[in-house]
Amino acid sequence: MGDKILKNAHVQYIILGVILAFLPTIAQSGGMKASTLETLGFVLIYAIVSMGMNLLLGYSGLISLGTAGFMGLGAYIAAYVVEDLSLSFWIALLLAMVIPTMVGIAVGIISLRIRNIYLAIATLCIAEILLKTFEQLDWFTGGMAGKQSHYPVIFGERLDRGAMFIVIVIALVLIMMLTHNIVNGQMGRALHAMRSSEVAAQAMGVNLVKYKLAAFAIATLYAGLAGALYLFFLKSSNPSTWNILLSLNVVAIVVVGGLRSIYGTLIGAFVIWAVPELILKKLPVIGDINGLSYIFSGVLIIVVIMFFPKGLKGIFDYFAVELNRKKKVAL
């Protein structure tokens, strides 16, 4: 009975969440710096937005380079609702998800006519439009100076950075559960068919319009949520954050972690974001040269594409299969 419960995917996500929640405590016992908690928080935030990218790229075969713009939109909406309108954290979080989702649906409508590199360019243009809006719309975003916020008040209590980290962990676990249900349900099967062949999927009765719009809507919902969490975790949002590099890093997280893998997305976020910050910057020579540690991401993407097309998750799966095979041979 216990083994059956532990094999339940949702239970496994909850256990993972508990482990992630204790990561700062474990790191602190080993002399963690304040910046380490910040890095871990960003890893989980980028894992959330990358779940949406994996759903879009891995499961439906669509590509978007507008992720950073949607994250920024979610962050600025959350800041405006809380700081300017003096409304609650929950309303800010809801609007930060709903409004980017509506924009995502509009992008999905565009995707009905274009695909592949042309779709990537179109979404990149949308992200650049949003970036210029963030820079110029002073009353909403604070312009080039950015928008400041505070840690949110939840259930009458003002959170600190550690408590906000727990909120991010809870959000990540819920997103993993939701994504699991999506990809293992009717929508997941439709997206798989659509990714393999749109013509064949349409012949099987898959409504391409419906599922393309749904994929973009969910991806932008995740991005808006991640943007709001970023704002409340860092307490500020600056236009320079929401650039093309961030969108490319999200794609890198998905490719390195593994397409169509929920756990792989989380692994990719740790590798792309945490490894340069927590390990490479502390190494001699590499850490001494400004920006050199981030070349690691580009090199890693090339290596993964050439030798491990299923990503790091695929490597773990390969060793798991080999281990089971050796156990059977030994028996």
- Look at residue 62 and tell me if it is in a domain: yes
| Domain span including residue 142 | 38-272
Is the per-residue pLDDT at 310 higher than 80?
A: no
Residue 175's pLDDT band (boundaries 50, 70, 90)?
A: very high
- Look at residue 21 and tell me if it is in a domain: no
Is the per-residue pLDDT at 197 higher than 80?
A: no
- Look at residue 150 and tell me if it is in a domain: yes
- Look at residue 311 and tell me if it is in a domain: no
Q: How far is CA 274 from CA 219, 227, 279, 280, 294, in A?
A: 23, 18, 8, 9, 11
Tally of structural domains, the chain: 1
Q: How far is CA 273 from CA 43, 89, 269, in A?
A: 6, 27, 6
Rounded average pLDDT over 108-125: 79
Is the per-residue pLDDT at 31 higher than 60?
A: no
Is the per-residue pLDDT at 133 higher than 80?
A: yes
Is the per-residue pLDDT at 256 higher than 60?
A: yes
Rounded average pLDDT over 162-171: 93
Segment of 194-198, 237-241, 270-274 carrying the highest mean pLDDT: 237-241
- Look at residue 206 and tell me if it is in a domain: yes
Rounded average pLDDT over 222-228: 95
- Look at residue 279 and tell me if it is in a domain: no
| pLDDT (tens digit per residue) in 67-88 | 999 999 999 999 999 999 989 9
- Look at residue 28 and tell me if it is in a domain: no
Looking at residue 194, its pLDDT comes to 80
- Look at residue 315 and tell me if it is in a domain: no
